[in-house]
Structure formats: structure tokens, C-alpha cells
């Protein structure tokens, strides 16, 4: 998981502004140059001190993971909103997978940078983000009460690692498969609780 900050720090508008400035500067730099900036260069572009960068992230790679996490959170919220409106769960799930893949392809250089980050869980790149997506789905679909942490099930880690592997091949590899086709096949490999969630969502 990306470095956690105390609630007090996250409530501070200056903290929020500087973290967003880092994310925006990194996104712009990677789109423009396709190369990883140094911490000093990124801090300068964000208009902050180098030491401030380390109040937010341990590395530029972790900052890249943070940017992708924001994209994934927005897609998750849209997924749950569509389900609450009565959309077909299977269609929503496939559309979400396709949107995640499209987002990563648009941010290919950021994804490749993020893929070199190893989290405290031992998963590489966006593996932790995918685990977070699973926990959020469990919570918001009312599947069970399991929390994230050291009791992660083997199924969750296996699922997150598998999805990450497919995304890595589709974004960083040489596969020319149709994204819609990738999403449909990936959906078929997901656990039963994702493909056939409870009929009613918790309010």
C-alpha cells in the first residue's frame, strides 16, 4: 500500500496541495519525456522542497503508484454507483476492467515506472492497489466483513497478482489483443464472489 499518513496530516490543506502537486508534476513529466525524474527535479517541478517530497512518498515509483490509485478509486466508485442504479453486474465488471486497462495504457510510462515499486506486502507495482480494489469490492458489495491486513486470503493475493500480470502483458508487453476481449477473458477468471455478488447491495 502507498505510504499511509495520519488523519491530521491528510486533513491539512497544505498536505493535500503538495501531494497533488507532486502527482500532477510527475504525470506531466512522464507524458512529456517518458523518463523517470529525480526526486530533486520532481520536487522543483511541484514547487516544493525535496524534504517535503519525502513527507509524502518514499520514492518516485511510489508516487507513480499513488497517481494510478486515484484513477482506480474513481473507477471503483463508478462501478458501485452503476450497480446501485441496477446495471447488470457482469457488464459493469467487464466495463470496469476495460476502463482500468484503458487508463493504464494511457499512462503507460507511469505504469511501467510504478511496476518497479515493491510494497511492504511484497507485491510488485500496482499489486497492492488491486488488493485494495478487492477489499473495497468486498465491503461495498457486502460479500463479507474481512478487512485488509495480515489476514489477506490466498485467493485475494492470487487474484490481484493474476490481474496485475494480465495488465502488465497488455500494457507493457507486445500483445495486440483487443482490450474488450482481454477484459471478458479476465472477468471469467475472477473469483465467484465478484462474478456473482449478492442480489442486493448494502445501502
Report the C-alpha gap between 175 and 159 in whole angstroms.
21
Rounded to 5°, the CA angle 123-128-149 comes to 95
- Total-model pTM: 0.85
Q: Give tens-digit pLDDT for 142-186.
A: 886 554 444 557 888 889 999 999 999 999 876 677 888 899 989
Q: Give tens-digit pLDDT for 100-114.
A: 999 999 999 999 999
32, 15, 68, 130: CA torsion to nearest 10: 160
The DSSP-derived string for 87-118 is --HHHHHHHHHHHHHHHHHHTHHHHHHHTT-B
Provide the CA 45 distance to its chain's centre, in angstroms. Answer: 24
59-195 in CATH: which number? 1.10.357
Break the chain into its structural domains and give their ranges: 59-195
Q: How confident is the model at residue 203 (pLDDT cuts 50, 70, 90)?
A: low
Could you list the beta-strand ranges (E) of 62-192.
Answer: none
Report the C-alpha gap between 52 and 45 in whole angstroms.
13
Report the C-alpha gap between 128 and 158 in whole angstroms.
12
Burial 73-92 (b: 16+ CB within 10 A, else e): eebbeebbebbeeeeebeeb
Amino acid at each position: 500500500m502507498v505510504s499511509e499518513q495520519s488523519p491530521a496530516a491528510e486533513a491539512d490543506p497544505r498536505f493535500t496541495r503538495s501531494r497533488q502537486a507532486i502527482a500532477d508534476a510527475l504525470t506531466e513529466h512522464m507524458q512529456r519525456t517518458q523518463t523517470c525524474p529525480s526526486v530533486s527535479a520532481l520536487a522543483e517541478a511541484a514547487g516544493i522542497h525535496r524534504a517535503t517530497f519525502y513527507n509524502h512518498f518514499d520514492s518516485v515509483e511510489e508516487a507513480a503508484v499513488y497517481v494510478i490509485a486515484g484513477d482506480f478509486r474513481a473507477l471503483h466508485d463508478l462501478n458501485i454507483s452503476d450497480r446501485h442504479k441496477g446495471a447488470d453486474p457482469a457488464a459493469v465488471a467487464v466495463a470496469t476492467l476495460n476502463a482500468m486497462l484503458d487508463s493504464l495504457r494511457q499512462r503507460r510510462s507511469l505504469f511501467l515506472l510504478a511496476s518497479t515499486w515493491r510494497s511492504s506486502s511484497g507485491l510488485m507495482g500496482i499489486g497492492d492497489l488491486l488488493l485494495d480494489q478487492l477489499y473495497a469490492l468486498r465491503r461495498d458489495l457486502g460479500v463479507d466483513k474481512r478487512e485488509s491486513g495480515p489476514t489477506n486470503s490466498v485467493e485475494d493475493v492470487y487474484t490481484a497478482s493474476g490481474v496485475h500480470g494480465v495488465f502488465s502483458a497488455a500494457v507493457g508487453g507486445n500483445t495486440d489483443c483487443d482490450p474488450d476481449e482481454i477484459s471478458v477473458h479476465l472477468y471469467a477468471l475472477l473469483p465467484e464472489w465478484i462474478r456473482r455478488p449478492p442480489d442486493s447491495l448494502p445501502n
